Amino acid sequence: MHEFGAMFFLGVFLNTVLAQRRGSHGEVQTCRNVESFGDIDEGCSATTPFCVDAKGFAVTDGNSGDHCVYCINLSQPNGKDQVGVDEGCDDVKRVCTSDRKLKKLYEGGTMCAVCVNTVPRPKPWRAGTACVAQCVDTSVDGKDQGCPDRYPTCTTPDGSDPGLGNPGTKCACTSTSCNDEDSCTRETCHPERGCLYSSVFPCLEPYEETCEVATEWTCEEPVTICTQYFIDGGFRCRCQLDVEGTPVCTRHDRCLILRECTTNADCGPRSKCASTCCTGNNSLRCVEDCALT
């Protein structure tokens, strides 16, 4: 009888302990969140103060968890450009990490690090003790990570290429990296000012049509554009017939400065008499001949 009573009370005691270690969903509880920021969660220690669930994510609002961890990731998961301090870390070792990439926010980690390598080489997601790279070579001919527009190329101290995926110590420019592929700008790599750009004049822009067969000017779209001439002050060279019926590429400026005419002889050596949209006694004006200017 005494043996039976002892076993009975032992069973009650074990059931009570097990019940206390179970959460609301029946999982075995080894820790519980205490809700106060900065405090050690119940069942955890100063070494591993934060309670997380079985998948490794922080529990909140007094809920129970599965085990305890060293720190909690509060920033983008081990991503680049992190400046905030993760929970459990400090201003020197800011990043909560592990021996693998932390995939989501509020995931628990096993250590705090000054930095974490996020580039493919040499060893991604490896914790580091110092930030020595100013930039990373991430592009063959574009701007590298960590470099500004004026100095787009990541290099080593002697100015050489660190190799794609490798870190560098300074950003520089070259004639190739400054090239914006704009035919209307001229690129210059200045050693102290970086990539500089100046406008090219005249700037030849491609058009689809040429002035091979012209018609009388009608002031209506579509307008046939002469492809071989540049735009000046917003005015393009248009293909039309002059007063003598000869195809000519003309640039129509403001009507107030266009002289009225009846023949080409009424115009200067670089102009032709042709129809315009200007009003007055007639629409014939001396317009610039693009081939002669």
Instruction: Quote the pLDDT of residue 32.
Output: 93
133-152 in b/e form (b: 16+ CB < 10 A) is bebbbbeeeebbbbbeeebb
Bridge partners of residue 73, in order along the sequence: none
**Pairing status of strand 271-275 against strand 284-289:** antiparallel
Q: For the chain, which ranges sit under pLDDT 70?
A: 1-29, 37, 76-83, 119-123, 132, 199-223, 227, 230-235, 253-256, 279-282
SS3 assignment for 175-189: CCCCCCCCCCEEEEE
Q: Which two tokens stand for residue 37?
A: 């920021």
Distance separating alpha carbons of residues 138 and 116, to the nearest angstrom:
17
| pTM confidence score | 0.41
Distance separating alpha carbons of residues 219 and 59, to the nearest angstrom:
74
Residue 112 CB-half CA count within 13 A: 18
Instruction: Quote the pLDDT of residue 202.
Output: 56
Instruction: Quote the pLDDT of residue 254.
Output: 64
